[in-house]
Structure 1
């Protein structure tokens, strides 16, 4: 499991005084960076052989400005050419959002998905959720 921390910024709040829902997907994407590094340790974006196929977020509780948010990230499932990343966001030790992202191993030259190589599959498997 990977852990990332975020400090909500004032401009990320909405008219209701809590963090806008669009911010959470950005935090979740940022929290996936350690997974991206499995594919390209130098974070060479042009060498990143994956695309995002799906994102889902459940907003469990309101998120407030001025209080740090911690995001836990890991792998839920590994398939032939795709894998599911799970996220859980906490503020004051309370679950405030959870979500998933489906990432697909992609061959940009052929413009289609391709099977995950064994070395990537093994690296991802180290972060599988066991609960």
Structure 2
């Protein structure tokens, strides 16, 4: 796996940042955060952002699902230190968008996560204009997405 682009490893590149507390149950037998914990921590931030985007509102039959989720592990994480998740929107398509995130602990990058969300309903329609506008507002700074 190639190392992520340098901009992905800076929390300043992302429009949204939040601290998420790690839990003792997140540890594996080696005493560091296990891979499932990384996925759950990223999911927490992704769901919070989707809620802020209005994704939990039942509007005009709109539905979207996770189509792809890729985590790149860069370093070990530990308990009890919280992690900072930095997240923003990457590419926006006709019926999908990319959520790009990075996880930091004690100021160091420990993982990145790329998630593709795909609109499943209504069939045959493009992203609603209001949602597209909100996604664009949360785009990664400097249009660094290739």
Aligned residue for 1:116? 127
CA distance in 2, matches of 1:96, 1:38: 26
Runs (4+) of structure 1 exceeding 3 A deviation are 43-48
SS for the counterpart of 2:53 is helix
Alpha-carbon distance, 1:121 to partner: 0.6
Q: 1:7 aligns with which of 4, 7, 21?
A: 21
The gaps in structure 1 that reach 5 residues or longer are none
Residues 51-70 of structure 1: pairs in structure 2 closer than 5 A: 51-70=65-84
CA distance in 2, matches of 1:2, 1:13: 26
Alpha carbons of structure 1 residues 15 and 48: separation in structure 2 relative to 1, 3 Å: farther
Provide the aligned C-alpha RMSD in A. 2.0
Alpha carbons of structure 1 residues 36 and 49: separation in structure 2 relative to 1, 3 Å: farther
Higher strand residue share? 1
Aligned residue for 1:34? 49
Deviation by residue 1:42-70 (Cα, 9 ceiling, x = unmatched): x3479762111000000000001111100
Q: 2:91 aligns with which of 69, 73, 77?
A: 77
CA distance in 2, matches of 1:9, 1:85: 24
The gaps in structure 2 that reach 5 residues or longer are 1-14
